[in-house]
Structure 1
Amino acid sequence: MTANASPGAVAAVFRAEYGRAVSVLYRALGDLDRAEDAVQEAFAVAAERWPLDGVPAAPAGWIILTARRRAIDRLRREAVGREREAQAVELLAGADPERGPVADPIGDDRLRLIFTCCHPALSPEARVALTLRLIGGLTTAEIARAFLVPEATLAQRISRAKAKIRDARIPYRIPAADRLPERLNSVLAVVYLIFSEGYTASGGDRLVRDELCDEALRLARLLAELLPDEEEVHGILALLLLVDARRPARLTPDGAMVALPDQDRSLWDSARIAEGHAIVRRCLARGRPGAYQLQAAIQAVHDDAPTAAETDWPQILALYDQLLRVQPTPVVALNRAVAVAEVDGPAAGLAAVDPVRDALADFYVLHGVRAGLLRRLGRTADAAAAYDEALRLCGNATERMFLERERAAL
């Protein structure tokens, strides 16, 4: 045991180890609700005992062992036949994590749980909610606040997702090698969505939700640890690091949004940039660039520039050309159009935007990009109309204030 633990120490272990403990208990119990209940009871015991006794040398093992015992006690109380008793006996057979190696392949269990949370049979919203709940250990209230939905709605979403996993008998396993790429894409998309919502919140008064950015980075690091040979896993980690490095410069002291060209680059996190660059170099050296690796390479070029004027836009455009071949989506085409405008001028950029106008008609960023290009071309009335449409569609108060300032500058 270490020195007496503060409530903050217990909370830190909870955030770091909750998913690990739930994954082990879920494999033993086959029931997400029972696994969560057992782990939550174990942390309740920790909250009482650790401030007095200190944090155990192996806190994750202590939690898992305590949760096992709680689950066994509950199964025995509820036992109605041999099946439940056999389940309890099976749980008892597990090794004591504080006395020796744990027999459970904990790393694989966490990976299984991530793939279970992100199964394609579940809706994207359910995948995000379950991942944050079961892997991240966020409370239902925290997730609901982050995604601006009522807590009751979020609770129902999680409950239905668990029921679907149970009723559809979604397997608790890592996909076979031939199915891994398609399933891994779903997992990475969830991590990216969590980060995106944290970095630029879709609604509310806050532009940045730091807790979601941090959680997405933690999940990306966990995936990189569990899947060391998957380049796209490392690609998304690099992408998140290189973008998140700019988080300290995104807002003025009074909370106003600062566009990338105007950011104080001395505030950027140099350690994250260096780590992201190193990962990008290792990935691209393997010669199998995927979408996340290419996006990371684009962000690396942005982070390389000492000033906005020194950004290597031709290199960024070349990378977008490659990304568009790998991921031919309207959003990638829109981002490429921005690079086209920087290389060939605003008229060329506007022409590159036109093919995706219908597909992204409800995306406020499209109208913001068009407004900026029309403004550079001196088409003030058209720019004002585009800003108005962007304002109509934008749900975040901080971004709306930024767009209002840009429109007023016309």
Structure 2
Amino acid sequence: MSEILLRRHKPFLAFWLARVCTASAFQIMTVAIGWHIYQLTGDVFDLGLVGLVEFLPRVLFMLHTGHVADRYDRRRVAALCQSVQGVVALALVIASAGHAVTREMIFVMAFLLGSARAFEMPSTQALLPNLVPPALFPRAVAASASAMQAATIAAPAFGGLLFAFGELWVYAPTALLYAIACLLSLSLPARGQPPQKGRASMESLLAGIHFIRSRRDVFGAISLDMFAVLLGGATALLPVFARDILDTGPWGLGLLRSAPAAGALLMSFWLSRFPIERQVGRVMLASVALFGVTTIAFGLSTSFWFSLAVLVVLGAADMVSMVIRGAFVQLETPDEMRGRVSAVNGLFIGASNQLGEFESGVTAAWLGTVPAVVIGGVGTLVVSGLWLKLFPTLAQRDRLHAEPPADPQDEARPA
């Protein structure tokens, strides 16, 4: 079905390619910045701080990012954000050429990168439902995720390899990728919500939060992901595992970063052909529990190849939860509110990733790297069990959305 989407829906193809470029660029930047700052300071706490700095803009600008996505042309908002990220990459290119990159500069660049992504995410998420027919949307979510994961497999390994030749060589390609993504975003057709008139009000800014609070199953789905990955995320500590525990270098770090994406890519291919249509609540909770188990296994591993295999399973489990949550939230949200709801959802996602990196860095600094990862995996298992009790209707949910009403013209047609 993903092949049909890419072949028959040209706007979706442009969207798909833009996601490939932005995912590749961001993954390369993540590997480079993480290794770069650890090389400069050798302090595991700084790895956590980078995640915190990238996450802060999502909190500071959350209400405004969603309102911008619903008020202005989402294509232009996405393109502008991609341009800003390209400028960040260029700044690092210039600084690297002059050997002027410092710890403080990396934090500033991380904040700018996080700010641009904070505005980009609600706009791109709200664009997708307008590019494909509603009946194909769950499959489009999986196909879109496969694009990002395919890029994520190659990009971190490529970034780690390039870093071995020097910082300049790893930052330059990201600027080009962001430029291509910008052009592709601008090529998308103008569809979806009309521009909203009038000044922003507090009621308008808070509409996304009120909507999610009024939909208990939606709130349960996105908060499950936030708390589970917040506790179980260990990606910020991969430079420590690569250098100090698994005894490898930048190329090994790139492979470790790519492994979850490999599992996620395989799972997204499966879900694009065989979407989960029944017992979606229990499947999502089971996938989160599996995420916790694999996190524990990774933390205890001292074998590079076993760690890679475990991370592949971890990525596959995370993809199941992500596709179910992404399709469910978008299908439950009216188009005129998708930007604001996506902004709140983006905050949850950011908390489970960037804030989770900070939590991992702090815990590792206090308790040690391996105990921090193992405790986080146990915490993820506890969260999946608690959500089974706290959100029983979510656990018992059978389908992503209600069946659409039958078309009277279809009923009138002879068999």
- TM-score in terms of structure 2 length: 0.30
- TM-score in terms of structure 1 length: 0.31
Structure with more relative contact order (C-alpha pairs < 8 Å, separation 6 or more): 2
